[in-house]
Structures are given as structure tokens and as C-alpha cells.
Amino acid sequence: MSSPIIWVIFPFVIGMLVLVLRRFEPFTHVISIVFTLLLAYLAWSLPFDESITLIPLPQVPSIRIDETLFFFGRRFILDDSARPALILIYLGISLWFGGAYLARVNQFFVPLGLWIAALLTASLAVEPFLYAAIMILGVALLCVPILKPPGKPVSSGVMRFLKFQTIGMPIILIGGRLLSDVEINPTDIQFALRVTLIIGLGFAFITAIFPFHAWIPMVAESSHPYASAFVFFLFPATVSLLSVNYIEGYRTTGIPVKAGEVFRFIGVIMILIGGFMAVFERHLARIMGYAAIYEIGMALLALSLVADTQLISSSIGLYFAQQVPRALGLAIWALALCFMLGKTGDLKLTSVRGYARKMPIISTSLVLSTFTIAGLPILAGFPVNIALWTDLVHAAPLVVLLGLLGTTGLLAAGIRMMAVLVQNEKGDEDWEINESFPEIIFLTGGWIMLVVTGLLPQLFIPILTNMAIIHMTPVK
């Protein structure tokens, strides 16, 4: 038995089983949540390359989990350094599965989510890592049925998503292969720059970086909010983790590629686009899409610190720490949108005027999650955002200024949303709670998580920083 079999093959097999049994909800949801939590726990505790006694009986032989799986002459390695990423992937997926039943996402969500987790793990395990690009394309292809479930018309946003992901894969694959030539001959700066451009273009396509970001609001508008938030969280998180490997690849060549400056430049553009487009947007799901664009910018700014530092492990902690408020913010936002969509059938601002007076819990969740992404104090995004701005202000004060300008845009969008939701046109509307009990439980639970992680960042930031250090430390 090897570790890739546990974290790649098993989820794939269980996913297939869940696909067959998909009509038996919520049984499939419970099974998948338990299974992904178990995999996250095993990633935390299961020793590699040691004999493990499953049952303490002399008749039952002990098993040994190897770190490497050989496949078609290549290696898939999941060693101790992969544990943090495994925990993040499977814990993250279980969190999204947790809300999926209540959000009434289509029945493909859970089985395909398990396959996506398996492919993401395979992309982290494959050596050489440039082959991961093909697996990321596999993830993108699996996202299509999630975004566009059966019985719904094909939207141009989903088609654009499919096109960009398919174009990005070959570009990254070629760039990654050429990067190994750069490592052989690092003196050819012109060639190295061309390779950098190729890799950058590939990542721009896949992570929806300007000017290839247009599919995000389109998908947000036309797809199920929970499914689209899942994709918005998943892609930047995992693909930028992959990009860290490329940054490391450049570092070994010794070529002075100013990746930090490039990341900062693109990052701030994304933040400005996300922030300012959100202000003028009139569709609640599209505002979430622009918030996702804003978050991609924030991730790029965190990666710019990674690219600037000689010792990656010291600065990648911030990037890892961003994932918690991002996942919480987007999940609660999407859940609230799903409940709202179920009741109003429309997410245009004009259709939800005064909605907070009838559904205050849902409305408060929407506003709180917007403010979380924007990094308002006492909410989950604040400690991470303030740490990022503090670290950046020495290296690039102008970037911080522009970034805060974009953040103001997102905050303004949240305030505008709040103003519309509490509007009292007739002047005689009373406040009442009309949400169902599960909706109240899930959403108020989300508020508590947002506030607790905002007030007590020491609960998650040190753990994630340690995980980041383990992830970036090669196993001897």
C-alpha cells in the first residue's frame, strides 16, 4: 500500500460509488463528509514508511504505507511535506460538502467533488510537477457538470471557463518543460524571460487573472451560487499552490526574475477590478464573483512576498492563512445566496429591496461575508489582511494604497447591499424572522465562526503557518 493509493485512488473509488448512489441524499453527503474527514485525519496522523499494526493480533499482519507510487515510469509521491496540503484539501472539501445538502446543489456535486479532491492530490504528488497542469485541466472538466447541472441551458460563462482552462493547460505544460532547460543553462537570460512569460500566461488563463477573469462574474450569475463559490475558492487556492513550485524552480536556477513585482502589479489590478466592479454591480451573485476576483488579487499579493523572500517557508504562512477566511466568507456568502434564491427566485438588487425585514438572518449573512472578504475588523479576514498590508507596506507602499482603494470599493458594495436590503419603501414594514430552523442554525453558526476566527486569529494562523513550513520543507 502506498500513500497515493489512500489519497488519490480511494477518493476516486468512493466518488464512483457515490455517483451511482447519488439519489440517496443525504446518505451520500454524510458518507462523503465522514470519508473526507477521515482522510484529513489520516493525513494528520498516519505514519509513512513504518509498520502499522491495524489489529493487535499475531494472525493479522501489519501494513506499511510507502510514500511513492510508480505509474507509467513516473512517480507519485505523498511524503510528510504533503501532509498540510492533504489536510487542507480534504478538510476544505468536507466543509463544502457540509453545506451542499442545505444549499440544494445538484447531485453531481459530491461525487465530482471527491474526484476533484483526488485529482488535486494527484497534481501535488506527480513528479515532475509540471504534469500537474494536465490534472488541473481534469479538475476544470469535472467542474463543468457542477457549474452546469442537467436540465439547465449552457451559459457562455461556463463555456468561457472551459476554454480558458483548456488553453492554459498546454501553455503551463510547455513552460514547465522549458523551465527545466532554463535550469540546465541559466546564463541565457532572454530564453529564461520567454519561458517566464509562457508560464505566466498559462497561470493567467487558469487562475482567471486579468484579462482572463471575465468568466467569474458570468459563471456567478448563471450557475448555482454554492457551486460557483466552490469553484472560485478551489481554483485560485490550488493553482497558486502549484505556482509556488514554479517559483521554487526559478530560485534553483538563480535567475533574477522579478516575480514579486509582477505578482504585485497583477494582484493590485485584480483587487481594483474586483472592488470597483462590485460597487457598480446590481446582481448579488455577480458581486460575489467580483469578491472572488478581489481574493485572487489578495492571494497574488501574498505570493509576491513569497517570490521576494529567499526563504520561501518563512513567508508562505500568510498565503496558507488566507485560505480560512476565504473559505468561510465565500461558503457563507454562497449559502445565503442559495437560501435567498430559493425564496425570491432572483438575485438582482431590485428584487431584494427590503428583504432584510423579512429574512434578517440571510441578509445579515450576506453583508457579514462581504465585510469578511473585505477584511473589516473583528471578522475573519481582518487579521490576515492587516498582516498582508503590514508586510507589503515596506516593499511597495503604492501597492498598499491602491489595494486599500480596491478594498474600499468592496466595502462600499457591502454597504450598498445593506442599504438596499433594509430599505423600507412603504414605511410600515416590521422586522420578523422567517428563515427555517436549519437555515438559522447554519448561518448563525457561520457568523460565530467568522467572529471567532477574526477575534482569535491565534487559533488558526500559527497552525497554518506551521503547515506551510512543513509543506515547503523538502523531506530528506
Partner 1 sequence: MELIFPGLLSIALLLFTSIFLLISRDWRLSLLALAMQYIPVFLLVSQLWPVQMALVKVIAGWISCLLLGIGAVNLPGYNLRIRIPFRKRDKPGIEFHSDSNTARLSRTKAPLGNYFTFFAAGTVFLAAVAIAFRISSTTGEAYIYPVLGGITLIGMGLLQIGFTDEPLYTSIGLLTITAGFEIIYALIDSSILVAGLLAGANLGIAMIGTYLLAAPQMEDQI
List residues binding partner 1 (CB under 8 A): 22, 71-74, 104-108, 131, 134-135, 137-138, 141, 144-145, 148-154, 156, 158-159, 162-163, 166-167, 169-170, 173-174, 177-178
> What number of other Cβ atoms are within 10 A of residue 315's Cβ?
21
Q: How far is the CB of 436 from partner 1 (least distance, A)?
A: 17
Displacement of CA 446 from its chain's centroid (Å): 18
Q: How far is the CB of 114 from partner 1 (least distance, A)?
A: 17
**Residue 136: burial class (beta carbons within 10 Å; 0-12, 13-18, 19+):** buried
Which has the closest alpha carbon to 417: 331, 288, 230, 306? 288
Q: How far is the CB of 23 from partner 1 (least distance, A)?
A: 9
Please identify, using beta-carbon distances, which residue of 174 and 279 lies nearer to partner 1: 174
Please identify, using beta-carbon distances, which residue of 186 and 354 lies nearer to partner 1: 186
Between strands 74-77 and 68-71, the pairing is antiparallel
* Torsion of the alpha carbons at 348, 353, 356 and 361, rounded to the nearest 10: -10
Q: How far apart are CA 439 and CA 335, in angstroms?
A: 9
Q: How far is the CB of 151 from partner 1 (least distance, A)?
A: 3
Q: How far is the CB of 72 from partner 1 (least distance, A)?
A: 4
Q: How far is the CB of 146 from partner 1 (least distance, A)?
A: 11
Q: How far apart are CA 175 and CA 198, in angstroms?
A: 5
Please identify, using beta-carbon distances, which residue of 153 and 254 lies nearer to partner 1: 153
Q: How far apart are CA 388 and CA 377, in angstroms?
A: 14
Q: How far is the CB of 229 from partner 1 (least distance, A)?
A: 17
H or E element that contains 69: strand 68-71
Q: How far is the CB of 367 from partner 1 (least distance, A)?
A: 27
Q: How far is the CB of 345 from partner 1 (least distance, A)?
A: 14
Q: Nine-digit cell at 405?
A: 482603494
Q: How far is the CB of 75 from partner 1 (least distance, A)?
A: 10
CB distance 113 to 103 below 8 Å: no
Alpha helices, DSSP H, located in 57-212: 83-103, 109-125, 132-147, 156-184, 189-206
Please identify, using beta-carbon distances, which residue of 141 and 470 lies nearer to partner 1: 141
H or E element that contains 318: helix 312-321
**Residue 379: burial class (beta carbons within 10 Å; 0-12, 13-18, 19+):** buried
Which has the closest alpha carbon to 446: 352, 358, 377, 380? 380
Please identify, using beta-carbon distances, which residue of 106 and 304 lies nearer to partner 1: 106
CB distance 22 to 111 below 8 Å: yes
Instruction: State the greatest distance between any 2 C-alpha atoms of the chain, in Å, as a whole number.
Output: 78
Please identify, using beta-carbon distances, which residue of 149 and 360 lies nearer to partner 1: 149
Please identify, using beta-carbon distances, which residue of 149 and 186 lies nearer to partner 1: 149
CA distances in angstroms from 284 to 49, 279, 288, 475, listed in the order given: 50, 11, 7, 46
Q: How far is the CB of 203 from partner 1 (least distance, A)?
A: 16
Alpha helices, DSSP H, located in 131-188: 132-147, 156-184
Q: How far is the CB of 134 from partner 1 (least distance, A)?
A: 4
H or E element that contains 418: helix 397-422
The residue whose grid cell reads 481594483 is 272
Q: Nine-digit cell at 201?
A: 500566461
Please identify, using beta-carbon distances, which residue of 228 and 304 lies nearer to partner 1: 228
CB distance 111 to 35 below 8 Å: no
Please identify, using beta-carbon distances, which residue of 96 and 319 lies nearer to partner 1: 96
**Residue 203: burial class (beta carbons within 10 Å; 0-12, 13-18, 19+):** buried
Please identify, using beta-carbon distances, which residue of 179 and 356 lies nearer to partner 1: 179
Q: How far apart are CA 30 and CA 144, in angstroms?
A: 24
